[in-house]
Amino acid sequence: MSQGKAQSLLVSSVTLKIVMAITGVAMVGFVVIHMLGHLIVFQGRVAYNDYAEFLQGLGGLKWIARFGLLGMIGAHIAAATALTNRNQRARPEGYVKLRSRRTTFAAKSMWFAGLAIFFALLYHLAHFTLGWVDAEQYTWIDEFGRHDLYSHFVISFEDPRILGTYLAFVVFVCMHLSHGVTSMFKTMGLSRGRFTKPIEMIGPVVAIILFLGFAAPPLACMMGVVTAG
Amino acid sequence: MKIKLTVWRQRNRNAQGAFKDYEVEASPDMSFLEMFDVLNESLISKGEEPVAFDHDCREGICGACSMVINGSPHGPRQGTTTCQLHMRSFQDGDHIVVEPWRARAFPIIKDLVVDRSSFDRIQQAGGYITVNTGAPQDANAIPIGKAEADEAFDYAACIGCGACVAACPNASAMLFTASKVAHLSLLPQGAPERRDRVRRMVTAMDGEGFGGCTNHGECSAACPKEIGQDAITLLNREFMRAGVSAK
């Protein structure tokens, strides 16, 4: 393989996009499973804490998944940074006016939404994984002597400040994915001919489903449909 | 009809450019470029420097004309080059802002004229096929499916004007490069250089300083030949195919 070939396959803008897409697929997979897991809150304390115990009991697998996801996030951000730098350098002098005909707000705010998601994610981990936000709630135990994640979850979302920041987080994730998921299929070379129109739709549809799935449990907590009692 | 123009004027590559206002008396039957011809005649008669702009065939097939008109490359009409845009698309008294294509890889030579030789270099990197010398073979000797031929022709319609780069928020040349790659990838004549073509053209594209594609679709919306984003999907596919190839 000549040096030219090696270079184009390692650092070309298309390669970076493929990195964005593959890491994106992995993270969307996580997000979907995460959403399904949280819907278990509607089945009550025992079912929800069972699910939490199951995940915590995965041991080595859990750590592989955690480090895998961290790696995905790192690669996604690194590729995004390289691409964004390149894109900004490509037009040093802007237009006095450039009209958009087809792009969307979500597509134009990918970088901003991505950053917002990253910081919201740090807060989310500090809240539910590390237990730094409500240190006292994190020590609650249920009738079987396990960490009572169910009560932690329900009581947290009865606080409108936590609910508000969480919903904003969900909105950013959904906005990011409404463009990202469709973009992923295009980058992976799948959006062609008769697949083009359905793939244009798949991002927004995934975003709406995720929004409903993620917003429902905390809203139910706030409205008293799901209670800790 | 009276038109108020705000036009980018720049003496040369290194000079600082600025907008200048003009008034032109145009007829609705004039093309946009003919309106500029009228402006330039009046500027010449006043002893001023005429506005430099690229043009050649004036029938929408050469890809020379290149103006961003009120924020849209080639103006407001879908699938229309600047030379095929007529003043009837505007209203009497309209204020029109005209800028050159803006991209690092398209440096301004003068006023509205930009240097698009970066496109030539991308094309030279791999946008060709191998043809044996000697007598031509029969035209019907190579079977090509109707659907493939039609699609390849859609991509071959690219005139290399650069509106895709001009419209892209990232100043990416992806639709141009993809049109060339997609066109040749669909035809048996393009098969011998298939792997190297996509690698070399992508490397050349990146090397020229264009941005990357983020699937906004602005390129396709601005393309006077209405080339679809499917071309980009095909380039990505070709790139991955070349990437998994052992050669």
The edge-to-edge listing of strands for the beta sheet with B95-99 is B18-25, B2-9, B95-99, B68-69, B72-73
Q: Is the pLDDT of residue B19 over 60?
A: yes
Average pLDDT over residues B11-20: 97
Q: Does A199 touch chain B (CB under 8 A)?
A: no
Q: Is the pLDDT of residue A2 over 50?
A: no
* Chain A environment of B236 (Cβ under 8 Å): 14, 17-18, 186-189
Which of B102, B105, B211 is facing A95, going by the closest CB pair?
Answer: B102
Which of A90, A189, A190 is facing B171, going by the closest CB pair?
Answer: A90
Nearest chain B residue to A83 by CA: give it.
B212
**Which of the two residues, A176 and A97, has the higher pLDDT score?**
A176
Q: CB–CB of B218/B173 below 8 Å?
A: no
Q: What is the pLDDT of residue A13?
A: 94
User: Where exactly are the structural domains of chain B?
Assistant: 2-109, 116-130+142-244
Q: What is the pLDDT of residue B146?
A: 96
Strands B95-99 and B2-9: parallel
* Chain B environment of A189 (Cβ under 8 Å): 233-234, 236-237, 240
Distances from the Cα of B13 to the Cαs of A10, A87, B56, B113, B205, in angstroms? 34, 22, 22, 10, 22
The alpha carbon of residue A166 is apart from the nearest alpha carbon of chain B, in Å, by: 28
Q: Do B169 and A193 touch (CB under 8 A)?
A: no
Q: What span, in angstroms and rounded, lies between the C-alpha atoms of A126 and A149?
A: 14
Residues 66-95 of B with CB under 8 A from A: 68, 70-72
Q: CB–CB of B169/A109 below 8 Å?
A: no
Q: What is the pLDDT of residue A3?
A: 47
Q: In terms of Cα–Cα distance, which of B152, B144, B24, B161 is closest to B92? A: B24
The alpha carbon of residue A123 is apart from the nearest alpha carbon of chain B, in Å, by: 28
Mean pLDDT check: name the lowest of A60-64, B40-44, B134-138: B134-138
Residues 211-240 of B with CB under 8 A from A: 211-218, 220-222, 228-230, 232-237, 239-240
* Chain B environment of A186 (Cβ under 8 Å): 215, 229, 232-233, 236
Q: Is the pLDDT of residue B242 over 70?
A: yes
Q: Do B212 and A83 touch (CB under 8 A)?
A: yes
Mean pLDDT check: name the lowest of A4-8, A54-58, A90-94: A4-8
Q: CB–CB of B13/B108 below 8 Å?
A: yes
Q: CB–CB of B176/B162 below 8 Å?
A: yes
The two three-digit tokens of residue B164, written as one number:
């895709």
Q: What is the pLDDT of residue A212?
A: 98
**Which are the contacts of A222, defined by CB distance < 8 A and separation ≥ 6?**
A157, A158, A160, A163
Q: Over the stretch A29-50, which tens digit does the pLDDT of each residue have?
A: 999 999 999 999 999 999 999 9
Average pLDDT over residues B60-81: 97
Please state, for a pLDDT cut of 90, what percent of chain B lies above it.
Answer: 93
Neighbours of A63 (CB within 10 A): 10
Q: Does A86 touch chain B (CB under 8 A)?
A: yes
CATH number given to B2-109: 3.10.20.30
Length of chain B measured in residues: 247
Q: Is the pLDDT of residue A8 over 50?
A: no
Q: Do B229 and A100 touch (CB under 8 A)?
A: no
Q: Is the pLDDT of residue B183 over 50?
A: yes
Backbone angles phi, psi at A96, to 5 degrees: -70, -25
Average pLDDT over residues B49-58: 97
Q: What is the pLDDT of residue A132?
A: 84
* Chain A environment of B171 (Cβ under 8 Å): 87, 90-91
Neighbours of A32 (CB within 10 A): 14
* Residue B106 CA, distance from chain mean position: 11
Q: Do B205 and A13 touch (CB under 8 A)?
A: yes
The class of domain B116-130+142-244 in CATH terms is mainly alpha
The pTM of the full predicted model, rounded to 2 decimals, is 0.94
Average pLDDT over residues A84-91: 96
Q: Is the pLDDT of residue A10 over 90?
A: no
ipTM for the assembly? 0.92
Q: For chain B, count helices (H), then strands (E).
A: 8, 7
